[in-house]
Structure 1
Amino acid sequence: MRTRLEPWTSGTSATAASRSAIIYGNWLTHGSQVENDAALSCVRAALDAGITTFDTADVYANTKAETVLGEALKDERRASVEIFTKVYWPTGPGGPNDTGLSRKHILESIEGSLQRLGTDYVDLYQAHRYDYETPLEETMQAFADVVRHGKALYIGVSEWTAEQIRAGHELARDLGVQLISNQPQYSMLWRVIEDQVVPTSRELGVSQIVWSPIAQGVLTGKYEPGAEPPPGSRATDEKGGADMIKRFLNDEVLTAVQRLRPIADGLDVTMAQLAIAWVLANDNVAGAIVGASRPEQIESNARASGLTLDDEVRGAIDEALGAIPETDPAETTSPSTRVV
């Protein structure tokens, strides 16, 4: 694990904060799947592994995840860690003002996030999805005000299309703030950003902070074709994990994933490490978000940041997976209406 912080740019022209290449995320693992003591142990393991960047969102476990992360980091020197959070999805009672990217929701949500996280500012405040019901100008003005008031250093987006990123970046520039990142799903199996989002982002100096680099755990190889999911795995979690992973749980995909095992074995790495290293090999990827339910998972996955994959290995991965990966850029979408 490289512990020296590197610039956000990852080959782009943007100038922004620093971060660890492996980012610890607590989407389904804090405040829901894992008891608080285990969650705190995972954060400590991340810090011990040289991870300094932590990603969360107000909607995760309906605000509980932010609270747990704030508690875990309360004794850390604030300048030594980077905290990211997000806004869009419903929180609280789910009323009409409790969702979306309106000025009211953004300005109220940042206050709640800061209180739960126990900090005066976040390093990156992200639009969790695109809001079709609020004018983009209103959204970006609100984000700009959050930055000007010192409550966030930079702004980012998540799962925006290339056109949406371009429009948001232009407005942010006109407002004098920096939109530095997009947070998309990206893995060996889910490559929908490669055709349009990545080229546009490179042009604009925007980097990707990718989530699900091991495809909800499928790329660990623990799900085998023709077999029931392992007990306690994400595929058995009815709180949300099973929903997200089901698109990958068919024998055709699982058989292809098993063909990656000899490649990982030949490099003397785990399949998860191979998957994380693969996304980091993309020069537009600034960091990969990993979660964990046990500290040892963090320790293992953190080692992926030091793994370099040459052209031969990447070619072998593509051959093993064949036509399995999803590449359609139309799959890069936000919901057309808010979910309340």
Structure 2
Amino acid sequence: MQVIEKNNVKISKMTLGTVQLGLSYGVNNTAGMPTKERSFAILDAAFDGGVTVLDTSDDYGKSEEVIGDYLRENPDKHFEICTKFKVTEETAKDIYGSLKDFALKSCQKLAIGRIPIFMSHTEKNYIDYGDKLVDALNELKKEGIITNSAISLSNKAEFEKIIDCGGFDAVQIPLNILDNKEIQCGLVRKASDAGIAVFVRSVYLQGLFFRKKEDFLVQNPNAPELKLQEMNEKVLPVIERVREFADELNISVAQLAMSFIKDTYGVDSLVVGSETPEQVKSNLEMFNQPTISEDILSKILNEFKDVDPFVISPWMWEVRHG
């Protein structure tokens, strides 16, 4: 597993997403939340495979606690941990104090003395509080409570502003075969050249690439209720085209999706969740496969340069009641 050191954190090419350790997550999740034993086996597989970074959050159910229990029971093992925070109207009255309290509580749950990557869960925190947020995070760095300040983006229209503000050491963005404009316009390259660690999530669009045609006809009882008609009309044809590309290259859809992102200039790590230890090992194996040629990558970029926003926006897939 390729590992780089950036901003005093050792970053493996694959980051293990741990939302699955605390919640049932993803449209393709049929296993539900894992037991403690399976969670520990997932973490063992990641550590043994050379993964150095775990991506978690206080919002991910019991994920932080599971990781903390694992580290307490395995003191010889170490991960660089990225955990996330939100700023509310109430906590904004004292951003520094509330973030310090939040960080220290996460440290306690995670059984660590310092948070390597402390990440805003949304760009809205920066939009609303700007320099106040950046100053608070810088103070936490000075105190040794966190190593890096970071921000997770959903609205990537803010990506360039985040790069230009110079206030963050790392950024996490959704990118995949279908959602790749930030590659085409050069923002991923710009962020990396500015010294920002770039983490990419949603490589598999929450497992959407793996759903079979018949899966679009019925609801998954372990996942949120989906807008099946729109999924069939808008999403399925695009997913089938992705499968055609994979078939042409004689590789799996998973390999195609991962390879497209992992070798993109400026991408430091892919955040990939797993429901089982076997999935972790399978994902690790794909990182050792040959790269896709530049010609094929260009063809993919051209094919999927104007995908319907519904297809690449998981939050739009769910039926909202009330």
Q: TM-score range by the shorter chain?
A: 0.7 to 0.9
- The change in CA–CA distance for 1:266 and 1:76 in structure 2 (over 3 A counts) is farther
Work out the number of aligned pairs and report it. 295
Partner of 1:25: 17
2:46 is the alignment partner of 1:60: no
Secondary structure at the aligned position of 2:213 is classed as coil
In the alignment, residue 138 of structure 1 is paired with which amino acid? K
CA-based RMSD of the aligned residues comes to 3.2
Are 2:131 and 1:137 aligned? Answer: yes
1:207 is the counterpart of 2:197:
yes
Q: For residues 316-327 of structure 1, what are the structure 2 equivalents within 5 Å? A: 316-318=299-301, 321=304, 323-324=306-307
Instruction: Identify the residue that residue 42 of structure 1 maps to in structure 2.
Output: 42
Aligned partner of 1:73 in structure 2 is 71
CA–CA separation in structure 2 for the residues paired with 1:157 and 1:86: 8
Contact 1:60 1:66 in 2 (8 A): yes
CA deviation map 1:90-119 (0-9, x unaligned): 7xxxx833x799223211110111011011
Instruction: In structure 2, list runs of 5 or more residues that go unmatched.
Output: 25-32, 314-322
Change over 3 Å in CA distance of 1:166–1:315 after alignment to 2: closer
Please say if 1:7 is aligned against 2:5.
yes
In the TM superposition, residue 322 of structure 1 has moved relative to its aligned partner by 6.3
String of CA shifts for 1:217-276, please: whole Å, max 9, x gaps. Answer: 1123x24278425746xxx513xxx57x98983434322222333443455542112211
Q: 2: CA distance between counterparts of 1:186 and 1:101?
A: 34
Q: Deviations over 1:30-63 (max 9, x none)?
A: 22221332222211221222212111112222xx
In the alignment, structure 1 segments of 5+ residues that lack a partner are 9-14, 173-178, 332-340
Q: Aligned partners of 1:100 and 1:71: how far apart in 2?
A: 33
**1:81 partner letter:** F
Tell me the SS of whatever aligns to 2:284.
helix
Counterpart selection for 1:113 from 106, 116, 126: 106
Relative to the length of structure 1, the TM-score reads 0.75
Amino acid of the structure 2 residue aligned with 1:187: N
Mapped contact 1:58–1:85 kept (Cα < 8 A): yes
Among 135, 157, 163, the alignment partner of 2:151 is 157
Question: Is the partner of 1:154 in helix, strand or coil?
Answer: strand
Matched, 1:217 2:207: yes
Does residue 1:189 correspond to 2:178, yes or no?
Answer: yes
**Which residue of 1 is the match for residue 317 of structure 2?**
none
The one-letter code matched in structure 2 to 1:129 is T
* 1:277 is the counterpart of 2:252: no
CA spacing shift, 1:322–1:103, aligned 2, 3 Å: closer
Give the SS at the match of 2:134.
helix
Matching residue's letter, 2:171? N
1:306 maps to what in 2? Answer: 288
Letter in 2 for 1:70: G
Match of 1:210, SS state, is strand
Q: Evaluate the alpha carbon distance shift between residue 102 and residue 167 of structure 1 in structure 2; reply closer, same or farther with a 3 A threshold.
A: farther
Distance 1:49 1:133, change over 3 A: closer
The 1:50–1:251 alpha-carbon spacing in structure 2 relative to 1, beyond 3 Å, is farther
Paired letter, 2:293: D
Q: Say if 1:190 and 1:325, in contact at 8 Å, map to a contact too.
A: no
TM-score (norm 2): 0.79
